[in-house]
A and B are shown apart, each in its own frame.
Chain A
């Protein structure tokens, strides 16, 4: 019977691994007296001790944002980490943080959305700010997200120019998800449109990981794209540098994500679409301090319930171009970036950019069409960027093939 029990346990543990990716250690942080006027609370999906990945990026953003404002993260930041996307557990974390005196609480994972909404009602004197979500109220609860697609477009230009240079029109993309989330779909679309601006003949092959992080398969998928589909540039929407390392090993090129991956793949990496989370966190914490204790003014102080920063705010960007980039990549990226920063042009519109090999940028009206042939935006039509946050971007653009 013992043996059978052991087998059942082994099985249960095996199965439980499908559900939870990470094992690590962590605990609620900090103690000590308050020294300044703002106490910050944070709820993380993974460990605050991570050295890479999503939680790491947010934790860095919060810590650096606090330092910018002269706040002391050692004394004024309270964290509950490794909180799964479960309403009761998120609410318990909120209780803990409120008990520790938090004035503003950040929840970084999409699945915290309902709990954050409920908590905002339970604690009207505390500010709640939810990353990647879409819910909010008019007083103490907002959401925040960035126009990563703009940075993706710029990385796409680097990939497109590289594909022109190598003469290989096949570009690969290791996707966390495809059309299941507007975030992932917009990442693929932004990148693909950037590639096509430089190389209209390019084709983007997407492999769907079905997971936000899965290191072993991130590598295997990239190898598959390189070997079977002949891809010469590999981009990705996943945390680890494995796709870039696979590109390096195969002697092809790649565009990373979330952090500059040139160190991981010095001969392959071109540039990465990156987030500067501290830009938002500093803005939000400043707004919280400006509210001077009245949490209900937060949304008004922030200028609206949804913060949606992009290249203009410096919230997203591309990492420094590596020496692997094709000639004139810097010139083209600078020009297009300027157009997006000053609001002249945006990615998901009825205006298409063309980038010549010498880096000059021209624009022309052209419809935005998905890969099933449906017209999304008529030629010359307005931007559908809202689809990225409202979730209506559930298509992949023409020239993208999911394999």
Chain B
């Protein structure tokens, strides 16, 4: 068979986007949460809850929109739980986040197994969900050779993720509500003193961020064609998102870049041997890399990013100054 060499590159680029967009949702959601001064390590669990409810409700109503809204709503509910525990009850944020992960995965399997015991909805039977997740080519741009199909022919949730990231970037950096949000994350005491309702802001943005994560989980479920088995759809993406926040320097627009850089290495494992076969001269060495190294690569990159960011100087860092600290008004 004559191999379509450029097609291999196109598929590689296409896969980088398709398989890693959930990271973008997780990362942007976490950035919104962290900008309000809360460190939420429960991304994995929140995505799982959004995924399972979004998928099941979306299928049963046969509506993509209801699926997205349910995923968002369930994610936001998880956020409400986090906010109630950490903002109102002053619980430790790290512990609460970890608890939410365990709790979320538990809910995922509990609900999933319960539904499977009755009747699991197969994605192919729900036309609106199936078609809602099919690729939409952007006129013009998708015709660009090699890159076009790779970058501009995706399902609507890919575009939605990019749009959310850009909107959040604009909102955080160019609007006054965004400024208030950042003020709360930097110094809630000062924000409080100028009349900003710190509690309200924290509740609001924790819920918004967690809702965005929930949509990412929904995406993951659809990308796995809604096939429920013994492993969770989220597959560790939530944890990587927590690290990507630092890579993106708390900037939602940078998160897009971070997602694709990370996705490049993540996808190299899948496409490495194809690239090696298509371009034996330049990339033949990719086939010699052991699978185990490919498997470890995304996590090695994560580790390097975490180390590099923690030695980076404070100057220019988007790290909110009060991140991880509970705000207790009477201590002011």
* Contact surface of A with B, Cβ cutoff 8 Å: 2-7, 9-11, 13-15, 17-18, 21-25, 46-47, 49-53, 55-56, 170, 207-211, 213-217, 219-221, 223-224, 227-230, 239-242, 245, 248-249, 263-264, 266, 403
Contact = CB atoms under 8 A, between A and B. Distances in A.
A249 B225 CA distance: 10
B196 interface: no
A13 B110 CA distance: 22
Contact of B7 (A3, A15, A219, A227): A227
Given A7-B246, A10-B242, A56 B230 contact: yes
B190 to A, nearest CB: 20
B106 interface: yes
Contacts, number: 164
B41 A217 contact: no
A42 B99 CA distance: 30
Interface stretch (B72-80, B81-89, B170-178, B267-275): B267-275
A6 to B, nearest CB: 5
Contact of B303 (A3, A11, A56, A229): A11
Please list the 7 inter-chain residue pairs (A to B) with the smallest Cβ-Cβ separation, ordered nearest first: A210-B291, A228-B274, A52-B229, A17-B236, A53-B230, A50-B230, A14-B239
B324 interface: yes
Interface in B233-250: 233, 235-236, 239-240, 242-243, 246
Given A15-B303, A213-B230, A24 B41 contact: no
Given A17-B239, A25-B109, A227-B7, A217 B230 contact: no
B109 A224 contact: no
A216 B235 contact: yes
Interface residues of B, number: 64
A240 B231 contact: yes
B310 interface: yes
Contacts of A7: 243, 246, 306, 310
A241 B230 contact: no
B11 interface: yes
Given A10-B239, A50-B230, A215-B229, A403 B273 contact: yes
Contacts of B112: 51
Contact of B113 (A18, A49, A230): A49
Nearest to B104: A23
Nearest to B113: A51
Contacts of B147: none
Contacts of B3: 228, 230
B239 A264 contact: no
B278 A228 contact: yes
A220 B274 contact: no
Given A9-B41, A15-B299, A215-B224, A51 B1 contact: no
Given A14-B239, A221-B270, A242 B277 contact: no
A216 B232 CA distance: 10
B274 A18 contact: no
Contacts of A266: 124
Contact of B227 (A49, A221, A223, A245): A245
Contacts of B8: 227-228
B270 A224 contact: yes
A17 B295 CA distance: 11
A6 B324 contact: yes
A167 to B, nearest CB: 12
B7 A216 contact: no
Given A9-B94, A227-B11, A245-B225, 4 more contacts: A10-B239, A51-B116, A52-B229, A214-B231
Given A11-B303, A25-B109, A220-B270, A240 B227 contact: yes
A227 B3 CA distance: 10
Contacts of B287: 403
A211 B98 CA distance: 26
Contacts of B36: none
Contacts of A242: 224-225, 227
Nearest to A170: B1
Contacts of B236: 14, 17
Nearest to B116: A51
Given A3-B39, A14-B243, A240 B270 contact: no
Contacts of B225: 219, 242, 245, 249
A269 to B, nearest CB: 13
B38 to A, nearest CB: 11
Nearest to A2: B324
A213 to B, nearest CB: 6
5 contacts: A2-B324, A23-B105, A52-B229, A219-B223, A241-B229
A264 B240 CA distance: 30
Nearest to A209: B291
A172 B195 CA distance: 64
Given A6-B324, A51-B113, A215 B299 contact: no
B323 interface: yes
A18 B230 contact: no
A403 B3 CA distance: 14
Nearest to B303: A11
Contacts of A25: 106, 109-110
B230 A220 contact: no
Interface centre among B1, B227, B228, B295 (most CB of A within 10 A): B227
A239 B274 contact: no
A275 B98 CA distance: 38
B243 A10 contact: yes
A24 B239 contact: no
Given A5-B94, A14-B239, A217 B227 contact: no
A399 to B, nearest CB: 15
Contacts of B291: 208-210
Interface string B273-308: 110011000000001000110111001001100100
